[in-house]
Structure 1
Amino acid sequence: MATTVRRDTLTLPAAPLGPENPLPALLPLEEAHTLAESERAALPAEMARQVGYGPLRSVLPTRILDGYGRQRAPASLDTLVIENDRLRVTVLPGLGGRVGSLFHKPSGKELLYTYRR
């Protein structure tokens, strides 16, 4: 059997994330992404040229989502299912590419621990 890739959905109980935290960045903006001239000189020319372009407004890639609730409700997540004659892997791209399932077909066993209630 050839390897196949298909899109699917997986329904899991999930709590809502809530709004983004309005607190400011962890470091002052002018200090978050600066390099000394000696550090900049050690970089490749193209990288050194781009270091100061459009600095981030935080040391974190996204704002913190800490306003989540405790009440879980079914939520559908997009998945990618990669399958051949031995394995079926379910990848969750919306959760950073986490592997949600790794199923070994010959033994009929799930190889990852999955907590689903």
Structure 2
Amino acid sequence: MATGLFSSSSSRKRNGEAADASIEDQLHDIREDIAQLVSLIADRGMAASRDTKAKARSTREQAESDLQDLLASGEQMISDLRSRYAGTEREVRRAVREHPVATLGVAAAIGLIAAALLRR
């Protein structure tokens, strides 16, 4: 800016043409500054948007990975439970075949205890 709004200049003319030109120069400079600020804000906004999108993408990928690990772990646990249940079932069937009378006695005793507890 060549001259300020309130500065005294010997180049001012009586009819105010120089003052008007100075104000127009200042308005032009202010418009340029505002345009630069808008551009800077837009650039920073876009950068923040890119960063946020990258973080969201990374978080989503991590969540998907964790979900896959959780599903694999759950499937492994179910497989382990099935094999344990199958083994226990075989042992119970073998015990019933080997000791049928003892098995009936144990079942009757459990039934009587359960009935006595439920009656109270």
TM-score (norm 2): 0.17
TM-score (norm 1): 0.17
- Bigger RCO (CA 8 Å, 6+ sep): 1
Q: Which has the larger radius of gyration?
A: 2
